[in-house]
């Protein structure tokens, strides 16, 4: 989790929220003491000190709140940028090319062997942890020449034919390609054996489920 900078110090988001709560409580206490002191005509110096502490408390709380708002705003901008800067294409026909996709496996995920519910909970929440990893270096999308799929958009990863751009996506892909909008592409390959954190609907007890998916491919084109 990224830190939130407040003044010269950095805090976890939970710490920021706790500090805001503490400062709000302190402010209410100081307001009560000022009212109580004024009602019973306490020394003006004491009332002045309490008022000064109240101002410091309110300003500090506002500083923490402002940092929290900036953090939330920055996160929203990042999410919007990611969404706006990529065109995503699901590759069709991968179910017929499972052996070919398996040839692209570059290694295994060390975390896959973990059987600790606690570690899964802390590190991956409810995401699937796939056994195999892929390190694709070259992506090629070209019109198929001749044969049954003549004119279809053929997808190759590191020289291996893995499928086609979906028929419904071809027009969108061609517009993007013809206008030279894309200047980078990422191939996301997933599938094979995986582990996933599940929860028993009756007892609420969490456990690790092992299953297997078909391999699939997603192309993410970065847009100018």
Residue 108: CB atoms within 10 A of its CB come to 14
Provide the pLDDT for residue 76.
64
Q: How many CA atoms lie within 13 A of 44 on its CB side?
A: 0
Residue 126 has pLDDT above 60, yes or no: no
Give the H or E element holding residue 184.
strand 182-199
Residue 159 has pLDDT above 70, yes or no: yes
Residue 113: CB atoms within 10 A of its CB come to 10
- Strands 160-165 and 206-223, by their bridges, are unpaired
Domain boundary among 80, 113, 131: 80
pLDDT winner (highest mean) among 49-63, 73-87, 152-166: 152-166
111 and 205 both lie in a single domain: yes
98 and 189 both lie in a single domain: yes
Residue with the bigger pLDDT between 2 and 17: it is: 17
Q: Using CA atoms, how far apart are residues 13 and 71, in angstroms rounded to an integer?
A: 9
20 and 96 both lie in a single domain: no
Domain boundary among 80, 101, 116: 80
Residue 79: CB atoms within 10 A of its CB come to 10
**What is the CA angle 22-61-9, rounded to 5?**
95
115 and 139 both lie in a single domain: yes
Q: Total domain count for the chain? A: 2
Domain boundary among 32, 48, 80: 80
157 and 189 both lie in a single domain: yes
90 and 74 both lie in a single domain: no
11 and 110 both lie in a single domain: no
Mean pLDDT of 89-102: 96
Contact indicator for 131, 161 with CB cutoff of 8 Å:
no
Provide the pLDDT for residue 137.
94
66 and 25 both lie in a single domain: yes
66 and 129 both lie in a single domain: no
Residue 61 has pLDDT above 90, yes or no: no
168 and 193 both lie in a single domain: yes
Mean of the per-residue pLDDT values for the chain? 84
Residue 121 has pLDDT above 80, yes or no: no
Contact indicator for 54, 30 with CB cutoff of 8 Å:
yes
Backbone phi, psi, residue 53, to 5°: -65, -35
Provide the pLDDT for residue 133.
96
Contact indicator for 222, 184 with CB cutoff of 8 Å:
yes
Q: Which of 104, 120, 106 lies closest to 161, judged by CA?
A: 104
1 pLDDT tier (thresholds 50, 70, 90): very low
User: Tokens in use for 208?
Assistant: 């690790």
106 is in which domain, residue-wise?
86-223
Helical pair 13-39 and 44-84, crossing angle rounded to 10 deg: 150
204 and 160 both lie in a single domain: yes
Provide the pLDDT for residue 2.
57
Q: Which of 61, 43, 51, 76 lies closest to 6, judged by CA?
A: 61
Mean pLDDT of 197-223: 88
100 and 210 both lie in a single domain: yes
pLDDT winner (highest mean) among 43-47, 49-53, 124-128: 49-53
């Amino acid at each position: 989790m990224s830190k939130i900078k407040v003044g010269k110090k950095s805090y976890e988001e939970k710490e920021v929220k706790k500090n805001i709560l503490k400062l709000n409580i302190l402010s209410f206490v100081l307001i009560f003491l000022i009212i109580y002191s004024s009602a019973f005509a306490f020394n003006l110096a004491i009332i002045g000190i309490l008022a000064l502490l109240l101002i410091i408390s309110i300003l500090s709380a506002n500083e923490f709140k402002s940092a929290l708002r900036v953090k939330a705003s920055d996160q929203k901008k990042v999410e919007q940028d990611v969404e706006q800067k990529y065109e995503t294409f699901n590759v069709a026909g991968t179910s017929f090319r499972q052996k070919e996709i398996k040839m692209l496996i570059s290694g295994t995920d060390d975390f896959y062997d973990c059987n600790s519910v606690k570690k899964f909970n802390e590190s991956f929440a409810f995401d699937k942890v796939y056994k195999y990893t892929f390190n694709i270096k070259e992506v090629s999308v070209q019109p198929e020449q001749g044969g049954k799929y003549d004119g279809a958009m053929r997808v190759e990863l590191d020289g291996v034919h893995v499928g086609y751009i979906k028929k419904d996506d071809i027009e969108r892909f061609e517009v993007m390609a013809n206008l030279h909008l894309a200047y980078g592409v990422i191939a996301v390959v997933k599938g094979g054996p995986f582990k996933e954190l599940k929860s028993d609907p009756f007892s609420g007890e969490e456990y690790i489920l092992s299953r297997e998916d078909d391999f699939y491919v997603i192309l993410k084109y970065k847009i100018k």
